[in-house]
Amino acid sequence: MLKLFSKMFQKGDKPGHPFCSMIIAAAGSSSRMGGENKLLLPLEGIPVLARTLMAVNEAELVDEIVAAVREEDLIPVAGLCKTYGITKPVKIVRGGETRLASVMAASLECRGDAALLAVHDGARPLATPQLIDSVIALAVRTNAAAPAVLVKDTIKIVQEGRVESTPDRSCLRAIQTPQVFDASLLRAALQAAADAGAEVTDDCAAVERLGKTVYIADGSYENIKITTPEDLLLAAAIVQQREETAS
């Protein structure tokens, strides 16, 4: 969890909104991708993580980027920042063994006076700058916000191979990232979860453990997380469609 590599590519600040540090969680094992680092795989000619960084870089309400990566990826990710023209201040730090440990490590490297801390999956390269800004804007008003989409499938609660119940689908949402919080709230929530040994699957869960309310912004069905080879194929199709629409 100690910082091993840190480089500032550009210093600066933007007036008119609370300072927001964006943490990129990018230290996962990529086990469902056969162990190959999915974040460095090409997505229509550009590495997955580079696309993520480019989207965050274009978001108007993000002021700095702190990426938590695997130790062996410290130098390659620094190279991506240079190659793909990331102009916001960037720090690249060594992540931990778990997502919680990685986000905690990165949060300690964010600028001390940051009012907001945002956390985004490195494996969500298709979040648009507009989506990112919309979640940050909601967090400015509420202290805790995340994007979500309606669940399309019917969900079953299953125990030991048997259906126990069917929750009302209209109340279910699939939560995405970036998830954005008041900086002191997120740090307290992460520390409390770590102290309790709690298994939290996202940062909202850590905040919810403290009894705090998380507010929902509109997500996007295109804001998928690259987890399996099939996800990479779907992401490529989305990129192609966007490029055709833009042309």
Would the pLDDT of 11 be above 80? no
Amino acid at 232: L
State both tokens at 95.
């992540």
Torsional class of 71: left (φ above 0), alpha (ψ -120 to 50), beta (otherwise): alpha
pLDDT digits (tens, 9 = 90+) for 22-31: 999 999 876 6
Residue 2 lies in a domain: no
Q: Is residue 35 part of a domain?
A: yes
The range of the structural domain enclosing residue 207 comes to 20-246
In a domain, 13, yes or no: no
In a domain, 9, yes or no: no
pLDDT confidence band for 80 (50 / 70 / 90): very high
Provide the number of structural domains found in the chain.
1
**Whether residue 6 has pLDDT greater than 80:** no
Task: Tell me the two tokens of residue 180.
Answer: 């954005």
pLDDT in tens, 145-172: 999 999 999 999 999 999 999 999 999 9
- Residue 107 reports pLDDT greater than 60: yes
User: Is position 143 within any domain?
Assistant: yes
Report the mean per-residue pLDDT for the chain: 92
**Residue 34: what pLDDT?**
67
Cis peptide before 178 (omega within 30 of 0): yes
Whether pLDDT at 116 is above 50 = yes
- Residue 44, domain CATH: 3.90.550.10
The string of pLDDT tens digits covering residues 184-228 is 999 999 999 999 999 898 999 999 999 999 999 999 999 999 999
Structure tokens at 139: 């967090």
Question: With 50 as the cut, is the pLDDT of residue 10 above it?
Answer: no
Inside any domain, residue 4: no
